[in-house]
Amino acid sequence: MKNKKIWIFAAILVLVLICNHVFGWSDYLKETDNFRFLEQLVEENLVLASAIYVALTVVGSVVLALPGITFAILAGLLFGPVLGTILCTLAATLGAAAAFLAGRFFLKDSIKPAAMKNKYLKKWLFDESGKNQLFVLMITRLVPLFPYNLQNFAYGVTDIRFGTYAAGSFLFMIPGTAMYTVGTAGLADAKNRVLYIGIAIVIGAVVICVGLFLKKRYIQEDKEERDEGAS
C-alpha cells in the first residue's frame, strides 16, 4: 500500500513535468510577449489573471522548484503591492499545502528520513513536537535556516493539523512576501516609488530583525545549552 502511494505520487509528478515540457509552463513567464499578455489580462479580466497567476505559482514553486522570489516579483509587477501580496501569499500557501498533503499521504516513509538529516528540522519538527505548533511554524518560516521546500513536505509527517499548518503558513509568509511585492511595485510605479520602496525597506528591516532575534533567542540558545550539557 505504501509503495502504491509513492508510485501514484510519482506518476502525478511525471505527468506534470511532461505537461511542462509540452506546454512550456516554466518558460512562459520568460517571454516578454507573455508578460504583456498577462498585463493586458489583468486590465480586462482580473479574476482570470489572478487564477492563472496562482496556478502558475503553485506548479512552478512546488513541482518545478522555481525560486519563490520570482513569483513575488511578478505579483508586484502585475497586481501592485496589496493584491500582489495577497495573491502571492495565497499561492505560496496553496503550494505549501499541496506539499504537506503529499508528505502526509504519499511520501511519509521517504520524507521523514530526509528531514531527520537536517539538524534544524529534526529538532524543531520532531524533537520539539510538544511545543506550540504555531510557535514552531513561526520559527521555521521566519528564521532562514530551514529549507523551505523540504519543511513543507516534512510538516506532513508531523502531527500538526492541516488547518493550523495552512493558516499559520499564510500568516507567517506575509511579511517576507510583502517585502518583495511592495518593493517591486515601487520600481514599476514612478508616482508612488518612494512610498512603496520605503515601506518595503521597513518591512525588510523588521523581517531581518525578527529573524535574527528568533535565531539568537531560541536556536543559538539551545545550541549553547547542549554544548554546556556535553561539557
Question: Mind listing the pLDDT tens digit for each residue in 100-136?
Answer: 998 888 877 788 888 888 888 888 888 765 578 888 8
Task: Pinpoint the alpha helices (H) of 46-161.
Answer: 46-58, 68-105, 108-116, 119-121, 133-142, 148-155
pTM: 0.77
For 62, counting Cβ atoms within 10 Å of its Cβ (0-12 exposed, 13-18 middle, 19+ buried), the class is buried
Domains of the chain, residue spans:
2-230
Closest by CA to 76, choosing from 98, 57, 94, is 57
Q: What is the pLDDT of residue 169?
A: 94
Q: What is the pLDDT of residue 45?
A: 94
106 in Cβ contact with 138 (< 8 Å): no
The grid coordinates of residue 19 equal: 505537461
Terminal alpha carbon distance of the chain: 47
**Other C-beta atoms within 10 Å of 219: how many?**
17
Q: What is the pLDDT of residue 106?
A: 81
Q: What is the pLDDT of residue 26?
A: 46
User: 215 vs 76, 142, 155, 177, 207, CA distance in Å?
Assistant: 29, 9, 20, 20, 12
Residue segments in the chain with a per-residue pLDDT below the cut of 70: 1-35, 64-65, 128-130, 221-231
